[in-house]
């Protein structure tokens, strides 16, 4: 069974990496790794005096993505990456829809707004696959 996995690669260190890579290998899957620079936390670079802080957050996100890609490729797992600005609660479900993810792995607690969106996305994907009950 081929599976598309979306991995939210936030500032959580390496939590979840082995799980995602093992699952991708077991299911002949591919991984989309997403790093979101949280504009609620850091602001937008063009609109704030904290541009250096945002640049540093972007650099850390890029390094996390590079390290993940290297590990995935060492194991022969196809991986694509994206780095976005915004709020995780908005970016994660939107990107899951965009890449038609079968599974979303978020190695930390999912913000409430993102949880609701992911549940709605899952219902939309799963509902057409369910067979009608036989009376």
pLDDT per residue as tens digits for the range 43-85: 555 555 556 677 788 888 899 899 999 999 999 999 999 999 8
Domain boundaries, the chain: 4-129
Looking at the chain, the whole-number percentage of residues with pLDDT higher than 90 is 36
H or E element, residue 79 = strand 79-86
Q: Give the CA dihedral 82, 88, 91, 95, nearest 10 degrees.
A: 60
Using 50, 70 and 90 to split pLDDT, how confident is the model at 101? very high
- Residues in the chain, how many? 135
Q: d(Cα 54, Cα 56) in Å, to the nearest integer?
A: 5
4-129 folds as: Rossmann fold (3.40.50)
pLDDT higher for 8 or 53?
8
| 74 contacts 82 by C-beta, under 8 angstroms | no
């Amino acid at each position: 069974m081929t599976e598309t996995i979306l991995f939210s690669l936030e500032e959580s260190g390496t939590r979840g990496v082995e799980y995602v890579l093992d699952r991708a290998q077991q299911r002949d899957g591919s991984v989309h790794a997403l790093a979101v620079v949280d504009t609620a936390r850091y602001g937008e670079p063009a609109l704030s005096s904290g541009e250096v802080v945002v640049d540093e957050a972007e650099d850390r996100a890029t390094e996390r993505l590079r390290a993940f890609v290297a590990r995935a490729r060492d194991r022969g797992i196809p991986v694509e990456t994206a780095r976005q600005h915004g709020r995780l609660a908005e970016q994660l479900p939107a990107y899951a829809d965009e890449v038609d993810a079968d599974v979303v792995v978020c190695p930390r607690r999912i913000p409430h707004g993102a949880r609701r969106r992911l549940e709605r996305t899952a219902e939309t994907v799963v509902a057409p696959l369910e067979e009608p009950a036989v009376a």
